[in-house]
Amino acid sequence: MDGPKKPDWRLIGELFLSTLKIGLITFGGGLAMVAVIEREFSGKKKWIDPDEMIDIIAVSQSLPGVIAINGSVMTGYRIAGVAGAAVAALGVTIPSLVVLMFVTLFYRQFRDNPWVNAAFKGLSAGVAALLASVVVRMGKRVLKDVWTVLFFGAALVISLYSGLHAIWLILAGGVLGYAFKRGGVA
């Protein structure tokens, strides 16, 4: 009889370094991190299949909390179990915590600095481009049939013009996907 599987500490260390790097290089919040997480875990490391990565991102967005941490924890768990989830959460969180502590110390000096404000405008433009690239890459993998394209279009219009919370769109997508599959449409 085999005992419990021993953790692969090399893989766990590599996971920690990857999430630490993600936390260090990603500005713009959790949604901006999605592109970097997807590129690192699915594209570069090949730890997660691109279609599974889409599912992880969808679930991460649906859960309470920060999408970057949720996605990192889910991916870490998928790759290396509980230890992987723990180091992924730590790795992606440490850089933000350190930077936030630094910024908090000097907030008053930075608040009205025109150079800092200009830098943040540039960062915001880069983050918008990063988010757009995620939408295009995910769209290519997800929008494969007419029903998905129609729901995407409806959800986009609703989210842009109604102020409806994202959770309702995500839940509606799940219910519709289930209903179409059960009805033999999807």
Sign of the C-alpha dihedral, residues 62, 65, 69, 72? negative
Single-letter amino acid, residue 106: F
Q: How far is CA 139 from CA 54, 134, 144, in A?
A: 10, 8, 9
- Whether 87 shows a pLDDT value over 90: the answer reads yes
Residue 1 has pLDDT above 50, yes or no: no
Inter-axis angle of helices 50-62 and 114-142, nearest 10: 120
- The predicted-structure confidence for 28-50, as pLDDT tens digits, reads as follows 666 677 778 888 888 899 999 98
Q: How much of the chain is in helix, strand and coil states, percent to nearest 5?
A: 80, 0, 20
- Give the pLDDT mean for 46-65: 85
**pLDDT higher than 80, residue 79:** yes
Is the model's pLDDT at 2 over the cut of 60?
no
Q: What is the mean pLDDT of the chain?
A: 84
**Using CA atoms, how far apart are residues 31 and 131, in angstroms rounded to an integer?**
7
For residue 63, pLDDT over 50 is answered with: yes
What average pLDDT does range 93-120 have in this prediction?
A: 82
Question: CA torsion 32→38→39→45, rounded to 10°?
Answer: 140
Residue that wins the pLDDT comparison between 28 and 122:
122
Greater model confidence, 150 or 181: 150
Per domain, the residue ranges of the chain are 9-142, 144-186
Alpha carbon 176 to its chain centroid, in Å, reads 23
More confident residue, 69 or 108: 69
Is the pLDDT confidence value at 3 over 50? no
pLDDT tops 80 at residue 82 = yes
Q: Are 17 and 91 in contact (CB under 8 A)?
A: yes
Q: Token pair for residue 51?
A: 């279609």
Q: For the chain, give the percent of residues with pLDDT over 70.
A: 92
CB 82 within 8 A of CB 69: no
Which ranges of 26-145 would DSSP assign to H, the alpha helix? 30-37, 50-62, 67-105, 107-111, 114-142
